[in-house]
Amino acid sequence: MKRAFVIGHPIKHSRSPLIHGHWLAEQGIDGSYEAIDVAPADLPAFLDRIRSGEFVGGNVTVPHKEDVFRLVDFSDVDTVHLGAFNTLIGQPTQTGIGIYGTNTDLYGFLANLDAGAPGWSDGLENAIVLGAGGAARAVAAALSLRTTGNTYVLNRTIERAEVLCADLRGNLRPAALDRFAELAPSAGLVVNTTTIGMHGTRFEGLALDHLPKSALVTDIVYVPLETPLLADARALGLRTVDGLGMLLHQAVPGFEAWFGVRPEVTPALRAKIEATL
């Protein structure tokens, strides 16, 4: 039986076992996907359980994403610049099994918008990313693949935005949050990657009404599903996409690598996870 996992500390909150459990049952695969609490000090020893063949791989969440980045044997060239991995895959080598690390948040972010707002990046010039934390790295890197102009990374702590833009490739420009009103008229897309929106918190004084009427607003926070930012954007008649699809889509490449079948993000899966929010 193929066994996969999600590790974190704590890990009880993770919805990944529900997602992968749904696909395992749907495909009739003899496999498992377990949530395992791993304390930081135990991480190197846990990863050896992939090298020994006990697990085919798994997902990694807070606080281990940066640490596994340093502990894997091979890195995905397309996501190595993000500095953090969320997916590990055991791969045969000439001497045994090595661990391949990749970051599927970049894919998940793009796939969610492709599904929720088809054609969203056609002719897209400038975009605004709110936030410069871990998730913002994947989002900014994804946007630099799809925008022809600039992606402005606005953060409360400007130094963090500067580091992000210096670390990643593409036309990324750091800016302070209070420049939103000035940059909004030329932005076709706004993405919130900050924790604002969780528990109903909202950005104060964000001039969404300065955005073009054709702009798309998306939030990667998915609890609540409709954040105050999305509600405000919708009230202005702007298109919106919520963040749950990013969580679902980022799980696809890992499942395919571990279990050999590419699963689908279906309305039934979405409804199952939505019911837990």
Give the residue numbers marked as catalytic.
Answer: 65
Min CB(104)–ligand NAP separation in Å: 10
Neighbours of 210 (CB within 10 A): 15
Min CB(251)–ligand NAP separation in Å: 9
The residue within the footprint of ligand NAP, chosen from 133, 185, 200, 260 (CB under 6 A), is: 133
Contact mark string toward ligand NAP, 75..94, x via CB under 6 A: --------------------
* Helices 267-274/16-27 angle, 10° precision: 140
Pairing of strands 96-102, 74-75: parallel
Contacts of 214 (CB under 8 A, 6+ apart): 188, 239
Interactions with ligand NAP, residue window 91-110 (CB under 6 A): 105, 108
The residue within the footprint of ligand NAP, chosen from 250, 254, 257, 273 (CB under 6 A), is: 250
Q: Which stretch binds ligand NAP (CB under 6 A): 35-43, 71-79, 179-187, 242-250?
A: 242-250
270 near ligand NAP (CB under 6 A): no
Give the residue at shortest CB distance from ligand NAP: 133
Give residue 251's region: left, alpha or beta (phi > 0; psi -120 to 50).
alpha
Interactions with ligand NAP, residue window 151-180 (CB under 6 A): 155-157, 160
DSSP 117-163: STTTTTT--EEEEE--SHHHHHHHHHHHHH-SS-EEEEESSHHHHHH
The residue within the footprint of ligand NAP, chosen from 220, 252, 265, 269 (CB under 6 A), is: 220
Q: Which stretch binds ligand NAP (CB under 6 A): 47-55, 113-121, 194-202, 264-272?
A: 194-202
Min CB(52)–ligand NAP separation in Å: 30
Amino acid symbol at 111: A
Chain residues that interact with ligand NAP, rule: CB under 6 A: 105, 108, 131-136, 155-157, 160, 193-196, 198, 220-222, 243, 246-247, 250
